Structure 1
Amino acid sequence: MTPWRLPQKSAAACWLRLAVICSILFCSLTQNSFAASAPKFVIGWSVYAGWNPFFYMAKSGILRRWADKYGIQIEVQRFDYAASLDAFVAKNIDACTMTNMEALDMPAASGVDSTAIILGDYSDGNDAVLTRSGLKLNQLSGKHVMLVQKTVSEYLLERALVLNGLQDEASRLKLVNTSDSDIAGAFLGNHSNQVVVTWKPLVSQILDQDKGVANIFDSSKIPGEIMDLLMVRTEVLHRQDGSGVKFAKAVTGAWYEAMAQMSGTGPGHERALNESAAASGDTPASYSEQLKTTHLFYTPKAATDFNDSAAFKQKMDLVRQFCFHHNLLGEGTQSVDDVAILYPDGSIQGKKDRVRFRFDSSYMHLAGQGKL
């Protein structure tokens, strides 16, 4: 009796199919193994024209590609702004988008040593003081002012008063702490609220929906003072396995790839704008309007030139003096120098043994040199 056998061609097809299945299983197991073993980093971001590109970087795959290059994982999480700062200080996330002021009076003041690795932009009109009923700056005494307290909104308001010789009026204002997720609706929904200080896209939303509201002061009057940064806990950058440095290189490389697209010098410009707009529920036209008042540093050179300049330190000194005078540098702080700042050239504002806030432009320089 002749034993039954598969035809030769059928047997070859079966072996080929088996090989393909084994290959797929091997790749899947390899990917799962990588996902389980690769160091993971989490970036927190909140809605703002200069930070929305982080949403685009994640959705488009740009961030994943750069993370894969360095053998790590990077996750991007969205927060309300104040909540993102709390998560960073609590060490629940590794990096966070924040302004220079909040970097000083939140993590640094809390004793969390942090490093700015990307200087993304400065607000050039995005932050604004808005009023109803034709109120001017010299008429705000005794008025309730809605804002997110202990943020750049409070800084902007005081700078507006100081620059107009009204600094003594600051103590007569009645500040109403309101979260960024609620502030536009609360202001628009109650016309007894006459003053609000916030940032775009909320500023644009308020001005579009209530033509009786006017912008009486904005950050274009204090260029370069409200900076937007990516902060990383310094201990993360110094991880012994070197993964922190890989993270800094990957996220910086991804950022400037996205910036090239945002500026129109790289492919994918339209998609970059559309998806960055979608991050905050804006139309591309509305988002483009916001970018007009956002001084984005589209290239590493533009960012490092500003970051490494003498004027940069002068602007930071204004911010740290404000924080000290408003008791934002932590309990028991006796001097503005008790929370020190380290600059890229090695100079320090404050006590050398109290450095908690560092500016490191080295990764941006590497990006500019094409070495990432």
Structure 2
Amino acid sequence: MRIPNPITGGLARLRRGMPALTLALGLLAAPMAGAAEPLRIGYSDWPGWVAWQVAIEKGWFKEAGIDAKFEWFDYSASMDAFSAGKLDAVTCTNGDALVMSGNGARNVMIMLTDYSNGNDIIVGKPGVKSLAELKGKKVGLEVGLVEHLLLIDGLQKAGIKESDVTLVNAKTNETPQILASGDVAAIGAWQPIAGQAMRGAAGARPLYTSADQPGLIYDVVTVTPASLAARRSDWIKLVGLWDRVVGYIQDPKTQADAVAIMAAKVGVEPAIFTRFLKGTRLLTLAEGRAVMKDADGFGSLYGSSRHADAFNVKFEVYKTPQDVKASIDPALTDGK
């Protein structure tokens, strides 16, 4: 979204009476008018996306010649902002990227940050010990988004019909309060929110996590087609910075500093955030390229996305199946 330039607007008003001054000022202002605006990227509290905070605070974007503005949101609010045209890109799950496209906000997934390896959790209230015990009970989560997908995957494995569970639609950030109220038998949330929910309801426990189905949930950076076409070289630079971020987080010499940066951003102790990282399998660009090959099954972004697309259509998150292949551009991970 381009913002009207008050300098060039003022020149238009001066043009009638002061042509020489207008011309001089116009020549000075021309480079400003032609300058590209920062890439606007929405991100939220998932560990694989908070990882970008390391690059932000270390000044690596400037070093790489990238003009990017990262804007902090609650998760669903970040997708709302993207869908409203206020962002060039947003961090989200692959299934939720399809949700935005299916509801009119077309986007293209350009890179993987990670896959969820235990941080997405169906949490049972005190006394509930298995998914089987959810039959006939209420579960609080954001209907149509990632934890709904996780719940259905778990219920199917447990032999429980979706109709045997009553869903209570709630923002993920509100699920700790809902679980503590005792009004639901379980909630669906990701870390750090899932951890808040378990700390707030003594005896609450994980019933099913994304570690039970690795590759069900991939986390991505997804971009508007217009921004990708107009600023492709800038997006290639941004994608190319990712390995530096992952390397800094995983290097024993710098990991403590990286964790301190990320933990401060989400407001938890570094020791707690370290545990969150274990449930998030960060992917290097090479690892991401391997996953972005077109194949079936949860070992492929395409296969996982087709699974999510079928889920979204079945549960009427949107009506028309999405073109998964057109929704992914793996070439940027190769700098193309």
**Do the structures match in fold with TM over 0.5?**
yes
1:78-89 residue pairs with structure 2 within 5 A? 78-89=72-83
Q: How far off is 1:225 after superposition?
A: 1.2
Which residue pairs with 2:167 in the alignment? 175
Which residue pairs with 2:291 in the alignment? 306
> 3-state SS of the aligned residue for 2:86?
coil
- The residue identity in structure 1 corresponding to 2:262 is S
CA distance in structure 1 between the partners assigned to 2:211 and 2:129 by the alignment: 20
CA distance in structure 2 between the partners assigned to 1:34 and 1:204 by the alignment: 47
CA distance in structure 2 between the partners assigned to 1:81 and 1:155 by the alignment: 16
Which residue pairs with 2:97 in the alignment? 103
User: Quick one: structure 1 residues 35 and 201, their matched pair in 2 at CA, closer, same or farther if it must change by over 3 Å?
Assistant: farther
Conservation of the 8 A alpha-carbon contact between 1:104 and 1:329: no
Which residue pairs with 2:6 in the alignment? none
CA distance in structure 2 between the partners assigned to 1:171 and 1:183 by the alignment: 21
Q: How far off is 1:224 after superposition?
A: 0.5
CA distance in structure 2 between the partners assigned to 1:90 and 1:182 by the alignment: 23
Conservation of the 8 A alpha-carbon contact between 1:42 and 1:76: yes
Unaligned runs of 5+ in 1: 1-29, 343-354
Q: How far off is 1:35 after superposition?
A: 10
- The residue identity in structure 1 corresponding to 2:290 is D
> 3-state SS of the aligned residue for 1:181?
helix
- The residue identity in structure 2 corresponding to 1:324 is V
Q: How far off is 1:260 after superposition?
A: 1.2
Q: How far off is 1:287 after superposition?
A: 1.0
State which drifts further: 112-121 or 73-82: 112-121
- The residue identity in structure 2 corresponding to 1:191 is G
CA distance in structure 1 between the partners assigned to 2:34 and 2:176 by the alignment: 42
| Count of aligned pairs between the two proteins | 302
Runs of 4 or more, structure 1, over 4 Å off, are 33-36
2:316 is aligned with 1:327: yes
CA distance in structure 1 between the partners assigned to 2:292 and 2:313 by the alignment: 23
Of the three residues 104, 107, 110, the one matched with 1:117 is 110
Unaligned runs of 5+ in 2: 1-27
Which residue pairs with 2:35 in the alignment? 37
Q: How far off is 1:75 after superposition?
A: 0.4
Of the three residues 235, 238, 254, the one matched with 1:248 is 235
1:270-289 residue pairs with structure 2 within 5 A? 270-289=256-275
TM-score by length of 1: 0.76
Which residue pairs with 1:345 in the alignment? none
User: Quick one: structure 1 residues 65 and 185, their matched pair in 2 at CA, closer, same or farther if it must change by over 3 Å?
Assistant: farther
User: Quick one: structure 1 residues 181 and 300, their matched pair in 2 at CA, closer, same or farther if it must change by over 3 Å?
Assistant: same
Deviations 1:32-87 (CA, angstroms, capped at 9, x unpaired)? x7698333210001111111112232222112322xx25xx210101111111111
Which residue pairs with 1:19 in the alignment? none
State which drifts further: 287-296 or 200-209: 200-209
CA distance in structure 2 between the partners assigned to 1:286 and 1:35 by the alignment: 46
> 3-state SS of the aligned residue for 1:328?
coil
Which residue pairs with 1:55 in the alignment? 53
CA distance in structure 2 between the partners assigned to 1:303 and 1:83 by the alignment: 26
Of the three residues 194, 205, 213, the one matched with 2:204 is 213
> 3-state SS of the aligned residue for 1:206?
helix
- The residue identity in structure 2 corresponding to 1:254 is L
CA distance in structure 1 between the partners assigned to 2:116 and 2:48 by the alignment: 9
CA distance in structure 2 between the partners assigned to 1:56 and 1:35 by the alignment: 31
TM-score by length of 2: 0.83
CA distance in structure 1 between the partners assigned to 2:63 and 2:178 by the alignment: 41
Of the three residues 250, 264, 267, the one matched with 1:263 is 250
- The residue identity in structure 2 corresponding to 1:305 is A
- The residue identity in structure 2 corresponding to 1:216 is L
- The residue identity in structure 2 corresponding to 1:152 is V
Of the three residues 337, 341, 356, the one matched with 2:324 is 341
2:83 is aligned with 1:94: no
2:132 is aligned with 1:138: yes
- The residue identity in structure 1 corresponding to 2:332 is Y
Which residue pairs with 2:4 in the alignment? none
Conservation of the 8 A alpha-carbon contact between 1:128 and 1:215: yes
CA distance in structure 1 between the partners assigned to 2:142 and 2:264 by the alignment: 24
- The residue identity in structure 2 corresponding to 1:314 is G
Which residue pairs with 1:26 in the alignment? none
Which residue pairs with 2:19 in the alignment? none
Percent identity reads 26
Name which one, 1 or 2, has greater alpha-carbon Rg.
1
Conservation of the 8 A alpha-carbon contact between 2:172 and 2:188: no
User: Quick one: structure 1 residues 278 and 36, their matched pair in 2 at CA, closer, same or farther if it must change by over 3 Å?
Assistant: farther
Conservation of the 8 A alpha-carbon contact between 2:179 and 2:201: no
User: Quick one: structure 1 residues 181 and 35, their matched pair in 2 at CA, closer, same or farther if it must change by over 3 Å?
Assistant: farther
CA distance in structure 1 between the partners assigned to 2:324 and 2:211 by the alignment: 25
2:306 is aligned with 1:317: yes
